[in-house]
Chain A
Amino acid sequence: MKDLLQLLEKNHAQTIDQLSTMLDKPKEEIEAQIKQLEAEKIILKYHTIIDWEKANIDKVTAIIEVKVTPQREVGFDALAERIYRFPEVRSLYLTSGSYDLLVFIEGQSLKDVGKFVSEKLSTIDGVISTTTHFMLKNYKEAGVIIDDIEKDHRLVVTP
């Protein structure tokens, strides 16, 4: 199953035929496995990695460190939920260290993001402080190097 997940993580557009050959398993088995992985939400979604800058579509991403007071019984989870339900939040992590939550925000403009932080995020009960870092350049996304200059330098035919 790990093999299958690894192949799908790299490229989910492979056909069942191909997957079945590559993993040396019957097609029916692969098909059933994928269905099950989807049903169990082990596979959550098939995602496309886009170089938005190259597409000339403006986006502003900010990474915000958030300190919060954990709440009795629910710890960080309830607060986290209040944050991640906003569609502006792209990713949210609980971390160890000098702050608690790491929030990735995406907006159309600096103003958008600023407004979200000051009006929505900082005003949530339990949020003690926020530190906002605007992202200047994306070098690598989900394991993919954005502007990879490495080329195939091999000769056409070698022994």
Chain B
Amino acid sequence: MNWSERISPIVKSVPPSGIRRFFDIAAEMDDVISLGIGEPDFVTPWHIRESCVYGLQKGYTSYTSNYGLLELRQSIAKNIQNNYHVSYNPHNEILVTVGVSEALDLAMRALLSPGDEVLIPEPCYVSYKTCVILSGGIPVPVPTTIENEFRVTPEQLEKYLTPKTKILLIGYPNNPTGAILTEKELLQIADFAKRHDLIVISDEIYAHLTYEGNHICFAGLPEMRDRTILLNGFSKAYAMTGWRLGYALSNPDFIAAMTKIHQYTMLCAPITAQVAAIEALEHGEDEMRKMMASYNCRRRLMIEGFRSMNLPCFEPKGAFYIFPSIKETGLSSMEFAEALLKAEHVALVPGNAFGDSGEGYVRCSYATSLDKLSQALERIQRFINQF
């Protein structure tokens, strides 16, 4: 049977992941130092793992409410209230999902009609555009630049606005650039959203990994709560990527719509992870802060490392990525990444995997041990010296 003829045109229209091919080369080598990993190098703190084991012993093995365990939703509500002073009703304004990944997909599916446009500042997380396409929408990348520290401004957004624009999807602190937005900048974006009556999806999965000032929650800005879908999760802050747990907070009508899809396609998020997540929210603050302090040390080391190689890079203030420019080598991002991998066995991710505006940059994750980071920097330096 000719399967490729039968695969849906929408799925076929999605370009293959830029990371995949690269992954295949790297996986073959045995002494690779990888700066290509978009997840914490910490294992989930023990008290969280232990609470999951205890939960299993007590027989927490069933389905939960489609919305997620009420106790978890209450913890989430309390946490968001304490951190950002925004209140959500745990009964009907919170949906627990299988990672922010699922929440993004649900949000798009619940909102988009064919032809609706979604503004997405770029470079951005690899799933954003695909999620929009799979829901029949049209992703509209809004390029950001190093000169502006990869921040998006209303002026740039304005250029890409059309009558079909329905959603603005932002993710700060940003993967892959590490950029954050200040309150002033966010207020301008909020004003833009209000003027054009847009819905804002704010992916704040790296909120706790903000190294300068406090993270500003988009839903906490004046008049924004009602037009915002706030996404967050446990993967990054609590080193819980494999647990697959996130959540969406929004208006009750919209949460109901997302839940309708979730109910028929996922039923509920895994209970084992939900039980552990309660422990994370209730008692995970100390461990989380320790991890963050450790990333911050490594962040500074990386900035210093790249600057001393004369690779221009702006100072990332969030997440655990640094996004230096490799334009001066004359290579494309992909060429650079491949050549570096082959010559020095250091894996990183070519910037164009995160959109065309990432071309000329590479994403280096510093969620790796200090030893390995220092070695990787030495190897990259050696590689750069040829140019």
Point out residues on A near B: beta carbons under 8 Å. Answer: 3, 7, 11, 14, 18, 21-24, 150, 152, 154-159
B353: chain A residues within 8 A (beta carbon):
159
Q: Assuming A155-B27, A156-B26, what are 4 further A-B pairs, CB within 8 angstroms? A: A23-B300, A152-B41, A157-B19, A158-B39
Distance of B371 from chain A, by nearest CB (Å): 9
Distance of B190 from chain A, by nearest CB (Å): 28
Point out residues on B near A: beta carbons under 8 Å. Answer: 17, 19, 22-23, 26-27, 32, 34, 36-39, 41, 43, 125-127, 175, 293, 297-298, 300-301, 304, 347, 349, 353, 370, 374
Contact, CB under 8 Å: A158 / B36: yes
Contact, CB under 8 Å: B297 / A23: yes
Contacts A/B (CB < 8 Å), 6 sampled: A23-B297, A156-B27, A156-B347, A157-B37, A157-B347, A159-B127
A98 to B256, CA, bound (A): 60
Distance of A59 from chain B, by nearest CB (Å): 28
A7 to B349, CA, bound (A): 29
B301: chain A residues within 8 A (beta carbon):
18, 21-22
Interface SS of chain A: loop
Contact, CB under 8 Å: B32 / A156: yes
A18: chain B residues within 8 A (beta carbon):
301, 370, 374
9 nearest CB pairs, A to B: A22-B297, A157-B36, A156-B26, A157-B23, A21-B304, A159-B126, A158-B38, A156-B34, A159-B38
A3 to B127, CA, bound (A): 37
Please name the residue on chain A nearest to B354 by beta carbon: A159
A159: chain B residues within 8 A (beta carbon):
17, 19, 38, 125-127, 175, 353
B300: chain A residues within 8 A (beta carbon):
21-24
A145 to B23, CA, bound (A): 32
Contact, CB under 8 Å: A157 / B349: yes
Distance of A157 from chain B, by nearest CB (Å): 4
Contact, CB under 8 Å: A155 / B304: no
Contact, CB under 8 Å: A158 / B297: no
B293: chain A residues within 8 A (beta carbon):
3
Q: Please indicate which of the listed interface residues B26, B32, B41, B304 has the most CB atoms of chain A within 10 Å of its own CB.
A: B304
Please name the residue on chain A nearest to B21 by beta carbon: A157
Distance of B33 from chain A, by nearest CB (Å): 10
A21 to B127, CA, bound (A): 34
B43: chain A residues within 8 A (beta carbon):
150
A154: chain B residues within 8 A (beta carbon):
37, 39, 41
A157: chain B residues within 8 A (beta carbon):
19, 22-23, 26, 34, 36-37, 347, 349
A18 to B301, CA, bound (A): 7
A155 to B367, CA, bound (A): 13
Distance of B297 from chain A, by nearest CB (Å): 4
A154 to B32, CA, bound (A): 13
Given A22-B298, A22-B300, A150-B43, the answer on whether A155 and B23 have CB atoms closer than 8 Å is: yes
A158: chain B residues within 8 A (beta carbon):
19, 36-39
Please name the residue on chain B nearest to A21 by beta carbon: B304
B349: chain A residues within 8 A (beta carbon):
157
Please name the residue on chain A nearest to B242 by beta carbon: A153
A152 to B239, CA, bound (A): 13
Given A156-B32, A158-B38, the answer on whether A7 and B297 have CB atoms closer than 8 Å is: yes
Distance of B347 from chain A, by nearest CB (Å): 6
A156: chain B residues within 8 A (beta carbon):
23, 26-27, 32, 34, 36-37, 347
